[in-house]
Amino acid sequence: MLDEPILRIEGLSAQFDTPEGAVKAVKDVSLSLRRGTTLALTGESGAGKTSVGLAILNLLPYPGRITAGRVYLNETDILTLSPEKVRQLRGRDIAMVFQDPATGLNPVLSVGAQVEEIITAHLPVSKREARDRSLEVLAQMGFPNPKEVARSYPFQLSGGMAQRVMIAIATALNPKVLIADEPTSALDVTVQAAILDDLRQLQQRFGTSILLISHDLGVVAQMADEMAVMYAGSVVEFGDTRTVFERPRHPYTWALLGSRPRWDQDQTRPLPAIRGAAPNLAQLPEECPYLPRCPKATNVCRTEPAPALTELEPGHSAACYNTILHGDGDAGFD
C-alpha cells in the first residue's frame, strides 16, 4: 500500500501567456507521490517548482494556464473537476502552504477566524466546535499559547509564526496530501528546524503525504524520501533522495549539489555559483536547455532535441545524453 501513489501527475505542461511570449513554466512533468511519504521538488529560482504546485490545484494565476496533462488524486482527475468540486477537495483532501504569505493569509482577519473559516467551510460543526478545533490545530503546530495567537492578526506575527499559522490552516482538516512551497525559506535555522519537525510529526501522526517544494538541498536531504530536480520547467533527474545525493547522474544536479554549502565549510564564504544563467522560458531552444552551461556537452547535445527523462537504474532517472558517473571531472563551477 505504501508504494501506491496517492498523487500522480502525468504529462503536465503549463505556461504564462505574457506580452513577451509564452513562458513555458512547466514542460511535460510526470511525477508520483507515494502514500505517507515526502517527495521534494527542487531546482534554481524560476525552474517552475511553484507553477507545478499551483497547477496541481488548478490555481495558476492569470495569465497562467495548463496546456496539457492530468493530475490524479487517487483516481480523481483534479483538472477535470468543476471549480466548486476543486474547492471542496482543497483543504479537505489536498492543501497547499503557499510560498507567498500574502496568498496564504488574509491581513484583515484574525488568525483564529482564518483557521475556523476552513473548518466551517468543510465540516458541519457549530461555531464553538470550530473554535475548539482551531485552538487544537494551533496547539498542534507548536504554539504554547493558542488562544493568544488566535486573537492576533497576521501583521503581529513573526515570519516563523506566520509560516506556522499557514501550515495550521492548510492542515486543519488533516488533508491526505500537503503541498508545502518553500515552507522554511527566509527563516532562521532554529525556526526552520522547528517547522520541519512539525511537518514530520504531522506526517507521522496522520500519514500525510507531502510534496515539498524547496530550493534548499539541506532541507531536501533531511525531509524527502524521493526528489525531483527541475530545470527550465522540466524534471531533469528523479530518484530516492539518498541515491540522487550519492550518485547524481545529470550534470545540473551535480552542479547543484556542488554549490550546496557544506556543514564543514566556512559558512561565510560565498557559494560557488553554477556558471551561466538559467534560460529564458519564453525562448526555450529545441535542444537540451542546460547546453549553454554544461561542461559535459557533446555533439549529440547540439544536434538532437532535448533528451527525455530516462530510467538509468530502478527508480532513478535523468534527462541527459551523457549522464555522468560519480567523481567525473569538472562539475561546472566558476
- Contact footprint for ligand ATP (CB under 6 A): 16, 18, 23, 25, 43, 45-51, 61, 64, 99, 215, 281
The smaller minimum CB distance to ligand ATP, of residues 49 and 133, is found at: 49
- Angle, alpha carbons 88-166-78 (nearest 5°): 30
What distance in Å separates the CA atoms of residue 193 and residue 164, rounded to the nearest whole number? Answer: 12
User: Least separation, in Å, of the C-beta of 187 and Mg ion?
Assistant: 16
Order of strands, sheet of 5-18, starting from the edge strand that comes earlier in the sequence: 21-34, 5-18, 64-73, 76-77
What distance in Å separates the CA atoms of residue 159 and residue 165, rounded to the nearest whole number? Answer: 10
Could you say whether residue 214 binds Mg ion (CB under 5 A)?
no
The smaller minimum CB distance to ligand SF4, of residues 116 and 237, is found at: 237
Buried b (16+ CB within 10 A) or exposed e, 46-69: bbbbbbbbbbbbbebeeebebeeb
What distance in Å separates the CA atoms of residue 145 and residue 130, rounded to the nearest whole number? Answer: 17
Site for Mg ion in 31-90 (CB under 5 A): 49-50
45 binds, among ligand SF4, ligand ATP, Mg ion, none (CB under 5 to 8 A by kind): ligand ATP
- The C-alpha cell that represents 44 in the structure block: 534554481
The smaller minimum CB distance to ligand ATP, of residues 195 and 229, is found at: 229
The smaller minimum CB distance to ligand ATP, of residues 61 and 83, is found at: 61
DSSP 99-133: SSHHHH--TTS-HHHHHHHHHHHHS---HHHHHHH
User: Least separation, in Å, of the C-beta of 291 and ligand SF4?
Assistant: 4
- The C-alpha cell that represents 89 in the structure block: 477537495
Q: Which residues bind ligand SF4 (CB under 6 A)?
A: 251, 288, 290-291, 294, 296-297, 301, 307, 320-322
User: Least separation, in Å, of the C-beta of 101 and ligand ATP?
Assistant: 13
The smaller minimum CB distance to ligand SF4, of residues 166 and 244, is found at: 244
Binding mask 132-161 for Mg ion (x = CB under 5 A): ------------------------------
91 binds, among Mg ion, ligand SF4, ligand ATP, none (CB under 5 to 8 A by kind): none
What distance in Å separates the CA atoms of residue 58 and residue 67, rounded to the nearest whole number? Answer: 12
Q: How many CA atoms lie within 13 A of 228 on its CB side?
A: 23
Contacts with Mg ion, residue ranges (CB under 5 A): 49-50, 99
